[in-house]
Amino acid sequence: MSCFGKNIKKIRKLQGMSQLEFGQLFDLKRATLGAYEEGRSEPKIETLIKVANHFSISIDKLLTQDLSINELLNFRTDLTGEAHSIETKMLSKIPLISHANLGKLKPDSFKKDDFNLQIALPSLSDQDYYAFEVLDVAMSQNNHGVFPKDLVIGSVAELDNLNTSDWYVWILEDRYLIRKFIAITDGDIQIQAIHRGMPEEQIAISEVSRLFKVNSIVRHNFSYGETELETRLHQLESLIKETPPPKKTPTHK
C-alpha cells in the first residue's frame, strides 16, 4: 500500500478539518476518505492529482514517503496560513493523459489546452512534456517496470532519432502504447513490451501521430523490487532449465 492515506490524514488534522469537510473539498464521500486513511483502498489518479496540486506536494512524495509534520508544513501555506516556502515558479504544470480522458485524445492537434487534467512537478526543462497514465502491465516484469496507475513523463521525440534502449509513448488514432523501440522496416515500426510472453508488435509509420520519449516515472505504489533471495532463486531456476539432464550409463548384465 502507498503512504497516501497516512499523509492525507496528517494534512487533514493540520487543517483542523473533519473527514466530511476534507471529503467535500475533493468530492469524496466520508467512507471513501476513511478507507484511504485506514489503508483499505488506494485513490484514483484524478483524486491523487487534485490533492497533490491543491497542496503543491509532488505525487511521488505523497505516495511513497511517510511525510513528517515538519515536511508537510514546508509544502504550502494552506496548512498553517503562513507564507509559501515553495514558490509556484519552482513547479511546472504538464497535461495528463489518462484512462479518464482517453476519449478526448485529439492526435491531430494534441494541444495542451485539449486536456483538463494537469499535474505539478518540480521544474522541468523547456522541453514539451506530457504525463501518461500506465494502463496495463506490458512494461513490467516480475516487480520491475511500470504498472497500472503509474505515470510516465515523456518529452516530444522524432521518428528519425530513436534509440533501442529507450521507452516511448506511441500516440495512435484512439489510443496510446508505451513500448520499447526495436526497428523500422519497410514503412513499419517494430515495438516491444518487456512483459514475458508478449510478442513484438508492428505498427505502420502512418499510424503514429505523436511520439514521446519516456524520461521519468511517477509510481502509484512504492516497490523495493526483487529481493536478493528472489534474484538468486531466478538465477538457479534459469541454470536448471539450461543444464541438460545427465546421460544414463548403460548397465551390463
Confidence of residue 47 (pLDDT cuts 50, 70, 90): confident
Domain edges within the chain:
4-86, 90-180+208-218
Looking at residue 143, its pLDDT comes to 75
Per-residue pLDDT of 212-246, as tens digits, reads 999 988 887 765 455 555 555 566 666 666 556 66
Per-residue pLDDT of 158-213, as tens digits, reads 999 999 989 999 998 888 999 999 999 988 999 999 998 889 999 999 999 899 99
pLDDT cut 90: percent of the chain above it: 24
Architecture of domain 4-86: Orthogonal Bundle (1.10)
Which amino acid is it at 120?
Answer: A
Cα radius of gyration rounded to whole Å, the chain: 23
Helix and strand counts by DSSP (H, E) for the chain: 7, 11
Answer left, alpha or beta for residue 145, where phi above 0 means left and psi between -120 and 50 means alpha: left
> Cα separation of 215 and 2, whole Å?
23
Which amino acid is it at 136?
Answer: D
CATH fold, domain 90-180+208-218, is: Umud Fragment, subunit A (2.10.109)
Q: What is the mean pLDDT of the chain?
A: 79
- Which residue is it, cell 504544470? 93
Give the number of other Cβ atoms within 10 Å of residue 99's Cβ.
14
Of the listed ranges 17-21, 33-37, 163-167, 228-232, the one predicted with least confidence: 228-232
Bridge partners (DSSP) of residue 130 are: 154
